[in-house]
Amino acid sequence: MSKLYFSYSAMNAGKSTLLLQASHNYKEQGMNTMLMTAALDDRAGKGHIASRIGLDQKADMFAAGDNVYDMIAARHKEEHVNCVMIDEAQFLSAAQVWQLADAADKLRIPILCYGLRTDFAGELFPGSAVLLAIADTLREIRTICWCGSKASMVLRLDEDGNVIKSGAQVVIGDDVYASVCRKHWQAGVPSKP
């Protein structure tokens, strides 16, 4: 039986790098991977997964309302898919996570999801909540706070570096977030004073 995996972390932990590295490993063995990313995240360009260290790959995009099971099944019919890898999995809907579980169970394709666990307000993203509940395997990817402790939370910052405590759950951009430990998240301290 294939599994549904969820690798999660705060920002800047290397999730996209690990995804691209795993895809490369599959391809080196002559296997096909299907890469997917959220359509609303265009930081690397539409339909691209890119890491901060310079790796970049084209990817299929999913948007709200898309049936990701159907997308995977159609690709698998065209060419055998050995593994599906999804970046920005926090942006999946609950229904889409269940569709991914169906793809793992019915199509027997491993599904590897990478994403954030919580938003800047300390709340679970809808996709992450369902992944945490039903994924066969959970893996935390660690990164560190400026104090050296494990960073498990994310602060949102305005253009002057001040912490923002309210607003929309999703704002795309690397320069508007700081990964910090729980203590510094509660205190609202994004960097060493």
Distance CA 145, CA 154 (A): 10
Q: Give Cβ neighbours of residue 192 (< 8 Å, ≥ 6 apart).
A: 146, 147
Distance CA 8, CA 25 (A): 20
Q: Is 178 helix (H, G, I), strand (E, B) or coil?
A: strand
DSSP classification of residue 80: -
Contact present, 114 and 5 (Cβ < 8 Å): no
Distance CA 172, CA 55 (A): 19
**Nearest 5°: phi and psi at 81?**
-105, 120
Determine whether 78 is an active site residue: no
Place of tokens 């405590």: 165
Beta bridge partners of 163: 157
**Residue among 28, 79, 88, 123 flagged as catalytic:** 88
Q: Give Cβ neighbours of residue 187 (< 8 Å, ≥ 6 apart).
A: none
Q: In the chain, what is the greatest distance between 2 CA atoms, to the nearest angstrom?
A: 55
> Catalytic residue numbers?
88
